[in-house]
Amino acid sequence: MPKMGESISEATIINWLKNVGDVVEAEETILEVATDKVDSEVPSPVTGVITEIRYQKDAVVAVGEILALIEADANAVVEKKAEEKPVVKENPTVSVTNTSSPPAQPIQLKSNPDAFLSPLIVSIAQKENLSLEEVQSIPGTGAEGRIRKSDVFNYLKNRKYPLQSKPIINNSQPTLTYPKPVIAFNEEKDYIIEMDRMRKMIADHMVYSKQTSPHVTSYLEVDVTNLVNWRNAVKDKFQEKYNEKLTFTPVFIDAVARAIADFPLINVSVDEKKIIVHKDINIGMATALPTGNLIVSVVKNANEKDIPTIAKTVNHLAVSARENKLKPEDVKGSTFTISNVGTFGSLMGTPIINQPEVAILALGIIKKRPEVITTEKGDEIAIRSMMFLSLSFDHRVVDGFLGGSFLKRVGDYLEKFDPNTPI
41, β-bridge pairs: 32
Q: Convert 338-359 into a string of H (helix), E (strand) and C (coil).
A: EECHHHHCCCCCCCCCCCCCCE
> What is the 8-class DSSP label of residue 131?
B
Active-site entry in 58, 399, 412, 418? 399
d(CA 309, CA 221): 28
In Å, how far from its chain's centre is CA 173? 23
**8 Å CB contact between 399 and 210:** no
d(CA 173, CA 423): 52
Active-site entry in 278, 316, 395, 412? 395
Instruction: Mark residue 333 as left, alpha or beta (left: phi above 0; alpha: psi -120 to 50; beta: remaining).
Output: left
In 3D space, the residue among 216, 226, 218, 230 whose CA is nearest the CA of residue 412 turns out to be: 226
Q: If you write DSSP's letter for every residue of 155-193 in order, what string do you get? A: HHHH------SPBP--TTSPPPSSPPPPPP--TTT----
Is the peptide bond prior to 356 cis by the omega test (within 30 degrees of 0)?
A: yes
Whether 36 is a known active-site residue: answer no
Whether 316 is a known active-site residue: answer no
Cβ partners under 8 Å of residue 112, min gap 6: 136, 137
d(CA 408, CA 268): 19
Enzyme catalytic residues? 395, 399
